């Protein structure tokens, strides 16, 4: 373990070691709610930024310059790996991602390529190297990430966002053998990509299974979990902590945990202590403020953040985060103050004070 890792709050929390204050970072912390990012977006599209390592590094650093965050996350998106697989990806203004040739047939599945990440995603690996260098002096660790096999497959089949995941789930239910062949490809793509990011310098890896809450526990167990496990087992070769995040998974949290990960990310739809109780003592936990709380008044926001810290009870292994990505119009001032509040409130907790007299 490097010296920096031993002293970083975030990495210590990933290992469930005691910290001086609860670490905090925010999913999608580099993004649209920041004026610096919106300014850059006037000149560049999302994919242009992602594919330009200097720009991706710059965006990665924007929230680090602005706030006292305990981790950076490389600016990227979960969808670019689909391009290397042979899918044509576009971010349509105001509509979100669109895949022009979604997977709909056996031939489409057979045609999926599994290139090495160095070949198809070199820009993000390069951005990681650049960002790591900039972060080093600040002692802020860098997170690499990927979508989980199920969530990536859903995008690839639906061709974009979806309400009911009808095409993806129909393929899964109607052609299980084809589904398994396809998922094996996604698990290799995801596992290798995560591993390559760690080798490029990412000190923690997060696997986003944002859409897995569309599945029943039994479907998850049979049709998605083995591929998340496979991806994680490949990524584990790098020996960095892995955060495993999903939403709407409160009917099957134990399965999510069993799929792997040192830290389990939970959404706000469950009390943190209840979630941690179900997950058990052998994993750290990340979460779980409702992203909309950042639009509330300062006293309301601190009530909510303080409640979550109270439910975590200062137990080693809590990483404060939102329960899902930060929303585009979030007031920047509330982000700054939340980050500071989490540090100050939790360091009082760590000093065995109740924190209740914290001056809001």
As annotated, the active-site residues are 28, 32, 41, 77, 155
Piece of the chain touching its own copies by CB under 8 A; list 57-65, 165-173, 236-244, 351-359: 165-173
What is the distance between the alpha carbons of residues 147 and 210, in angstroms, rounded to a whole number? Answer: 8
Piece of the chain touching its own copies by CB under 8 A; list 2-10, 21-29, 80-88, 264-272: 264-272
- Find where tokens 């005691």 sit: 18
What is the distance between the alpha carbons of residues 187 and 285, in angstroms, rounded to a whole number? Answer: 24
Assign 28 to helix, strand or coil.
Answer: coil
In the complex with its own copies, the residue whose CB is nearer, 249 or 346, is 249
Choose, by CB under 8 A, the member of 40, 178, 188, 292 that binds its own copies: 292
Instruction: State in angstroms the smallest separation of the CB of 291 from its own copies.
Output: 7
Which residue, 29, 17, 130, is CA-closest to 72?
Answer: 29
Assign 137 to helix, strand or coil.
Answer: coil
Choose, by CB under 8 A, the member of 165, 188, 347, 350 that binds its own copies: 165
Piece of the chain touching its own copies by CB under 8 A; list 30-38, 100-108, 135-143, 266-274: 266-274
Check if the beta carbon of residue 307 is closer than 8 Å to that of residue 340. Answer: no
Site string for its own copies, 95-114 (x = CB under 8 A): --------------------
166 binds its own copies (CB under 8 A): yes
Choose, by CB under 8 A, the member of 295, 315, 336, 344 that binds its own copies: 295
Instruction: State in angstroms the smallest separation of the CB of 337 from its own copies.
Output: 15
270 binds its own copies (CB under 8 A): yes
Both tokens of 251, joined, read 């009917």
What is the distance between the alpha carbons of residues 248 and 225, in angstroms, rounded to a whole number? Answer: 15
Q: Across the chain, where does the E strand assignment appear?
A: 72-73, 89-92, 96-99, 142-147, 204-209, 242-246, 263-265, 284-289, 318-322
Residues 6+ apart with CB under 8 A from 39: none
Piece of the chain touching its own copies by CB under 8 A; list 7-15, 78-86, 287-295, 339-347: 287-295
Question: Given the rule CB under 8 A, which residues bind its own copies?
Answer: 164-166, 169-170, 173-174, 213, 215-219, 248-252, 267-271, 274-275, 290-293, 295-297, 300, 304, 307, 327, 329
């Amino acid at each position: 373990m490097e010296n920096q890792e031993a002293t970083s709050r975030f990495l210590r929390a990933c290992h469930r070691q005691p910290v001086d204050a609860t670490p905090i970072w925010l999913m999608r912390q580099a993004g649209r709610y920041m004026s610096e990012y919106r300014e850059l977006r006037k000149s560049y599209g999302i994919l242009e930024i992602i594919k330009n390592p200097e720009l991706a590094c710059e965006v990665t650093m924007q929230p680090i310059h602005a706030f006292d965050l305990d981790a950076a996350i490389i600016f990227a998106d979960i969808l670019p790996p689909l391009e290397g697989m042979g899918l044509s990806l576009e971010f349509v203004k105001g509509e979100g991602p669109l895949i022009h040739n979604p997977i709909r047939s056996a031939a489409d599945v057979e045609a999926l390529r599994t290139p090495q990440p160095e070949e198809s995603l070199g820009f993000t690996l390069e951005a990681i190297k650049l960002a790591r260098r900039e972060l080093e002096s600040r002692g802020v660790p860098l997170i690499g990430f990927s979508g989980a096999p199920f969530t990536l497959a859903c995008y690839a089949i639906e061709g974009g966002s979806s309400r009911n995941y009808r095409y993806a789930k129909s393929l899964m239910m109607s052609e299980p053998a084809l589904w398994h062949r396809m998922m094996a490809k996604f698990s290799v793509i995801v596992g290798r990509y995560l591993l390559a990011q760690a080798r490029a310098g990412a000190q923690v890896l997060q696997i986003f299974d944002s859409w897995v809450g569309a599945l029943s526990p039994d479907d998850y167990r049979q049709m998605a979990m083995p591929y998340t496990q496979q991806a994680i087992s490949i990524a584990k070769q790098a020996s960095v902590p892995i955060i495993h995040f999903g939403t709407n998974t409160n009917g099957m949290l134990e399965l999510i945990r069993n799929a792997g990960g040192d830290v389990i990310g939970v959404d706000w739809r469950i009390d943190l202590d209840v979630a941690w109780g179900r997950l058990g003592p052998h994993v750290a936990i990340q979460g779980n403020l409702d992203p909309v709380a950042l639009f509330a008044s300062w006293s309301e926001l601190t009530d909510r953040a303080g409640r979550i810290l109270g439910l975590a009870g200062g137990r080693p292994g809590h990483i404060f985060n939102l329960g899902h990505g930060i929303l585009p119009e979030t007031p920047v001032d509330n982000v700054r103050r939340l980050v500071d509040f989490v540090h100050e409130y939790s360091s009082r907790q760590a000093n065995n004070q109740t924190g209740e007299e914290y001056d809001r």
